[in-house]
Amino acid sequence: MSRVLPTPEAFDAHMPLVVIGAGAAGLCAALAAKEAGVEPLVIERDTVPSGSTALSAGLIPAAGTRFQREKGIEDSVELFAADITRKNHAQSDPTMIATVARESGPLIEWLADRYGMPFDVIDNFNYPGHSALRMHGLPSRSGRELIDRLRSTAEAQDIVILTNCAVDTLYVGPDGTIRGIEAARDDGSRERIGCDALILACNGYGGNADVVHRHIPEMADALYFGHPGNRGDAIQWGEALGAELRHLGAYQGHGSVATPYNILITWAVIMEGGFQINRDGRRFCDESCGYSEQAAEVLRQPGGVAFDVFDERIAAVARQFDDFQTAERNGAVLRAGRIEDLAVALNVSPQALITEFDEVEAAKAAMGRDRYGRRFMPGERLAPPYCAVKVTGALFHTQGGLVVTVDAGVVRKDGSRLPNLFAAGGAAAGVSGDEAAGYLSGNGLLTATTLGRLAGRSAARLIER
């Protein structure tokens, strides 16, 4: 029940700034507002802030950082913006792309230098579509570490996070100014809190099956691997307020979730020279296009499953991710010394698997392309022992949402601004175009963190005025 109602006669309390959602977007917004001298109140449905941020690998793409320079990696804001634009087939707003690309480097250095978060840049594999190594992560390569560090940083700044509290109502004045919110606590009590500005950081609608069915029918029956508390409140409030919504069919999928274990298997296993086969032992597409569009490809295969096939060298790269280590501990990663034995372990045709291996390895030796157009390199050759994981495709999060300005202000359908409403992260329209294939790795946390910080600053400026 997400409602927009006229302003009541009184509120129980008043805060200058209310932020709905304590994921990466909400906490970056709160930190930025606090720095600018405005007291934020963050309201979070869960007992402990988690969100999809906690489920992620916590990798944030950023261009021109000192971490890149220290490793001799050449990159620029323009190159990053061009990569985002190529992946989304120029379907997203170029000004917004330029903004998030420009803000990305300073964002990482802000979190690292001001708040002591130990980021570094991944330099032993690259993600599809990035023409420079620019994925920055924390030591465990996990979103749990990212959200825990953001939360403890916010707490150290005396930012109040009201947990076990779900906002369901926005109160609005006749000119569209948000006057306050109403939230339900877990114990059944309700709070009406007035505010001077509101930031929506409550992500998209991946946790709302009906809305997914309406906007992304191809993933309606897929495993939803994001946070269940993201139920599309931002777009429902936005609709009621006359806000412009865009790219509602866009989403981040992933074609490599270990099944039945439900553990993310990093796409490094593919990008380093691995490939996917279906239950018939046959490859079915160019896996290097991207993991997001691969979700639907995998779901189209017999039984809606596939196998990631790689080797021990690649497993060593993947082991930097906590998730991969968990998958190994749980027995999700199968190993065999010969291709025939791997085929038996996977219950696929040995002849089919040998044929696929032969084609892939020949393409690597020739530095050529395979029948799907995938380009392989000689350094990616596979050697025994071979590894495989049974995987399925999943919906991770939605990328469509409220159209915002470059300072994260929410825009109405007629192009005018809602006076004091801001949005960031999955609540805002992303930079991934209209479909899954437009998602460049890291677009999720890129817009959560950069737009979050911008929203916090902009809201603080408005309130100070």
Ligand X SMILES: Cc1cc2nc3c(=O)[nH]c(=O)nc-3n(C[C@H](O)[C@H](O)[C@H](O)COP(=O)(O)OP(=O)(O)OC[C@H]3O[C@@H](n4cnc5c(N)ncnc54)[C@H](O)[C@@H]3O)c2cc1C
Where along the sequence are the contacts to ligand X (CB under 6 A)?
20-26, 43-46, 49-53, 55-60, 143, 166-167, 201-203, 225-227, 229-230, 233, 252, 264, 396-397, 425-426, 442, 444-446, 448
Asked if 304 and 261 count as a contact pair (C-beta separation under 8 A), the reply is no
Nearer to ligand X, 126 or 355 (CB): 126
Alpha-carbon torsion 187, 192, 196, 202, what sign?
A: positive
CB closer to ligand X out of 144 and 335: 144
- The closest of 205, 206, 195 to 421, measured between CA atoms, is 195
- To ligand X, the closest distance from the beta carbon of 313 in angstroms equals 22
In angstroms, rounded to a whole number, what is the distance separating the alpha carbons of residues 81 and 258?
32
Give the residue with the Cβ less far from ligand X, 2 or 360.
2
Closest approach of ligand X to the CB of residue 420, in Å:
18
Residue 249 vs 281, nearer CB to ligand X: 249
Could you tell me the smallest distance in angstroms from the CB atom of residue 11 to ligand X? 17
CA 109/CA 114 separation, integer angstroms: 8
Q: How far is the CB of 200 from ligand X (least distance, A)?
A: 9
As a whole number of Å, the CA-based R_g of the chain is: 23
In the complex, minimum distance from the CB of residue 22 to ligand X, in angstroms, rounded to a whole number: 5
Residue closer to ligand X (CB basis): 166 or 327: 166
* Smallest gap from residue 252 Cβ to ligand X (A): 6
Give me the least distance between CB of 46 and ligand X, in Å please.
Answer: 5
Characterize the bridge pairing of strands 386-398 and 334-336: antiparallel
Question: Shortest Cβ distance from residue 320 to ligand X (Å)?
Answer: 13
What the block records as the tokens of 278 is 């279906």
Two structure tokens written together for 173: 């004045």
Beta carbon nearer to ligand X, 241 or 446: 446
Q: By C-beta, is 51 or 274 nearer to ligand X?
A: 51
User: Which residue, 388 or 445, is less far from ligand X as judged by CB?
Assistant: 445
Residue with Cβ nearer ligand X (281 or 290): 290
Distances in Å between the alpha carbon of 438 and those of 128, 129, 230, 253, 399?
12, 10, 21, 11, 10
Neighbours of 110 (CB within 10 A): 18
In 255-267, which positions are buried (b, 16+ CB within 10 angstroms) versus exposed (e)? bbbbbebebbbbb
How near is the Cβ of 222 to ligand X at its closest, in Å? 12
The minimum distance between CB 166 and ligand X, in angstroms, equals 4
Tell me the closest approach of the beta carbon of residue 137 to ligand X, in angstroms: 8
Residue closer to ligand X, measured from CB, 281 or 444:
444
Judged by beta carbon, residue 232 or residue 281, the one nearer ligand X is 232
